[in-house]
Amino acid sequence: MIPAEQCWYKSLAPLMADIRAKIGDAPVYLSYDIDSLDPAFAPGTGTVEMGGLSTWQALEIVRGCAGLNLVGGDLVEVSPPFDTTGTTALIGSNLLFEMLCALPKAQK
């Protein structure tokens, strides 16, 4: 577990490289909680996290999973009643697309 404060003001690409090295070839299920993002980026969630991550850091995390043995993934905590502009749903759908792109490619 890494608190958001340890991620402030820096790229998460090196962190993800370290995580990939530690996990190796083990099967991985990626579950992304949208309320990890600062409410300036994703206000439409049940539990906003002041001082949370940015959208580019979320992309670094998900894209940083490429090369892992991903067996599946999901994204949780988008709350339509709180997402009056649709911003959170749009960010969530983009992160899910990125998860699909990070899945291992089938070998022929």
For 80, which DSSP code? G
Q: Is residue 21 situated within a structural domain?
A: no
Whole-number Å distance between alpha carbons of 17 and 106: 23
Query: Could you report the per-residue pLDDT of 54-108, keeping only the tens digit for each?
Result: 999 999 999 999 999 999 999 999 999 999 999 999 999 999 999 999 998 865 5
Query: Within 10 Å of residue 46's Cβ, how many Cβ atoms?
Result: 12
Q: Is residue 10 situated within a structural domain?
A: no
Closest CA to 41 of 3, 5, 94: 94
Q: Is residue 102 situated within a structural domain?
A: yes
The total domain count for the chain is 1
Q: Is residue 16 situated within a structural domain?
A: no
Whole-number Å distance between alpha carbons of 67 and 69: 7
**What's the pTM?**
0.92
Q: Which domain holds residue 56?
A: 31-108
Q: Is residue 13 situated within a structural domain?
A: no
pLDDT for 40: 95
pLDDT for 92: 97
Looking at 21-25, 49-53, 84-88, which range is the least confident one?
Answer: 49-53
Q: Is residue 49 situated within a structural domain?
A: yes
